Amino acid sequence: MSGAHTVEVITIGDELLLGHTIDTNAAFISRELASQGFRVVARTTVGDVPSAIRDAVAAGLERAEIVICTGGLGPTQDDFTKSVVAELFGTELELDAQLLEQLRERFRRRGITMAERNVCQAEVPKGATVLPNPRGTAPGLALTRADGRCCILLPGVPQEMRGLTMEQVLPFLLQRASGIKPHPIQYHTIRTTGIAESAVAEQVAGLLRALEPLTLAFLPGFAGTDLRITSWGELDEVTADSAINAAAIKIRELLDAHVYGSNDDDLAKVVGDLLRQHRLTVAVAESCTGGLLGKRLTAIPGSSDYFVGGIISYSDRLKQQLLGVRAETLREHGAVSEAVVQEMVRGVQQSTGADCGIAITGIAGPGGGSAEKPVGTVWVACAIDDAVRTRRFVLPGDREEIRERAAQAGLALLWKTLLTENVITKSASTASLVQ
Ligand code: ATP
């Protein structure tokens, strides 16, 4: 895009001001617009107060050519954004019959009678462009002033806001900027685990130039680092599709051992598919994850084909009683140790009769760390028949993040082992014996 158009992001909601909700919307919008060459010059947050919203939008339109607001588009008494901005633009709200019908249909499909209160969500400022929102009840709206400055209103719900930004707002703004209707934005995500974001970036650094006009975004999360390849509308659909495929192949080659899937793939499903393919069963022994690993595995439909169950052995006593961990192992090495996680995984294999086991023991914090074993220290073991593999991690984040990362690390260890070891597929009769 030529010439940097300026943008201000305004996020609206008392819960943001009070700190009860972290303002992830502003970060998302800033990141996505900046990656398209827009210059985000300011970010403002205001509460659910009409005068504060009016002042913020008016000031934003002085500072930037484009103002993007999120929040306050719902049907409740504290949702003022649409009426305040309509007034500021000197226009009024009018009922959009088509939107109202879509809204009623949405409620009908869910078997709910639409409340009269929701009718206002089909009201649109006269002259505004409606940005359809298939994920929710409030559409996005774009209002443009005579001088070309424009204000875009989006719902606050992050999932809706994200979908609208990618599918509606960016194409709308890019078309406005270039005067040419862009092709649809297309993207493909490659999911990796067991490799840090910086290492991923280093491995693919040499590729970035060759990918143009596609862009590559690095998205770290508890499940690992995702890489999103995006075609921003410069290429037509077919060309974009093949360029994205070619890029994905190159990236997969570079990161091979760490790529477990694409788009919405879940490592628990990838592991489950491998277990099913090899006719193997699995059981889990969990300490610091308190059942998260079992939850991940059982969230996959059909997991009863391979998942036999698990033991949450939080206390030392239960580790001994249910998993056969020896008292002297606990005394000599401590509950968070390689020796204990090995005995845990063996114990759960033996007590459940499963072919494979995953065991996790760690310090999720915030207390309980030491110089030798800081918070985040996690031992993971996996066993397939007689072979046991262990790994130690020092995981970043707060208690919840450490627990999520630990569960993912447990799945990743079994996944890698299933891929790399010479795993023997059980015959159907043996498999049924084990179950
Ligand atoms: P609704 O139709 O649900 O009323 P809305 O457009 O009025 O949508 P809000 O009511 O302001 O939006 O927020 C809906 C949800 O989205 C709330 O759970 C809120 O915490 C969350 N949310 C709102 N703004 C943000 C933000 N800037 N960052 C992250 N989450 C947000």
Rounded to the nearest whole angstrom, what is the distance from the C-alpha of residue 20 to the centroid of ligand 1?
Answer: 12
Whole-angstrom Cα distance, residue 145 to residue 403?
Answer: 50
Q: What is the mean pLDDT of residues 322-330?
A: 98
Task: Give yes or no for residue 3 having a pLDDT over 50.
Answer: no
Q: What is the mean pLDDT of residues 277-303?
A: 97
Whole-angstrom Cα distance, residue 356 to residue 384?
Answer: 4
* C-beta of residue 357 within 8 angstroms of C-beta of residue 282: yes
Q: What is the mean pLDDT of residues 260-281?
A: 96
pLDDT in tens, 397-407: 899 999 999 99
* C-beta of residue 412 within 8 angstroms of C-beta of residue 379: no
* C-beta of residue 398 within 8 angstroms of C-beta of residue 387: no
Cβ of residue 156 lying under 6 Å from some atom of ligand 1: yes
pLDDT in tens, 77-90: 788 999 999 999 99
Task: Give yes or no for residue 49 having a pLDDT over 80.
Answer: yes
Task: Give yes or no for residue 264 having a pLDDT over 90.
Answer: no
Rounded to the nearest whole angstrom, what is the distance from the C-alpha of residue 35 to the centroid of ligand 1?
Answer: 24
pLDDT of amino acid 431: 37
Q: What is the mean pLDDT of residues 254-265?
A: 93
Whole-angstrom Cα distance, residue 53 to residue 48?
Answer: 7
Among 270, 278, 276, which Cα is nearest to 304's?
276
Task: Give yes or no for residue 298 having a pLDDT over 60.
Answer: yes
pLDDT in tens, 5-31: 899 999 999 999 999 999 999 999 998
Cβ of residue 247 lying under 6 Å from some atom of ligand 1: no
pLDDT of amino acid 391: 97
Whole-angstrom Cα distance, residue 405 to residue 417?
Answer: 18
Task: Give yes or no for residue 197 having a pLDDT over 90.
Answer: no
Rounded to the nearest whole angstrom, what is the distance from the C-alpha of residue 125 to the centroid of ligand 1?
Answer: 21
Q: How confident is the model at residue 430 (pLDDT cuts 50, 70, 90)?
A: very low
pLDDT in tens, 114-138: 888 889 999 999 999 999 999 998 9
Q: Which atom of ligand 1 is nearest to the CA of 79?
A: 7
Cβ of residue 390 lying under 6 Å from some atom of ligand 1: no
Please choose from 21, 24, 162 the residue to mutate so as to test ligand 1's pocket, defined by most ligand atoms within 8 A of CB. 21
Cβ of residue 157 lying under 6 Å from some atom of ligand 1: yes
Whole-angstrom Cα distance, residue 361 to residue 353?
Answer: 21
pLDDT of amino acid 429: 39
Rounded to the nearest whole angstrom, what is the distance from the C-alpha of residue 140 to the centroid of ligand 1?
Answer: 13
* C-beta of residue 158 within 8 angstroms of C-beta of residue 24: yes
| Lowest-confidence segment of 51-55, 94-98, 213-217 by average pLDDT | 213-217
> Mean pLDDT in the chain?
92
* C-beta of residue 434 within 8 angstroms of C-beta of residue 353: yes
Ligand 1 atom 31, closest CA: 156
Q: How confident is the model at residue 434 (pLDDT cuts 50, 70, 90)?
A: very low
Rounded to the nearest whole angstrom, what is the distance from the C-alpha of residue 159 to the centroid of ligand 1?
Answer: 10
pLDDT of amino acid 204: 93
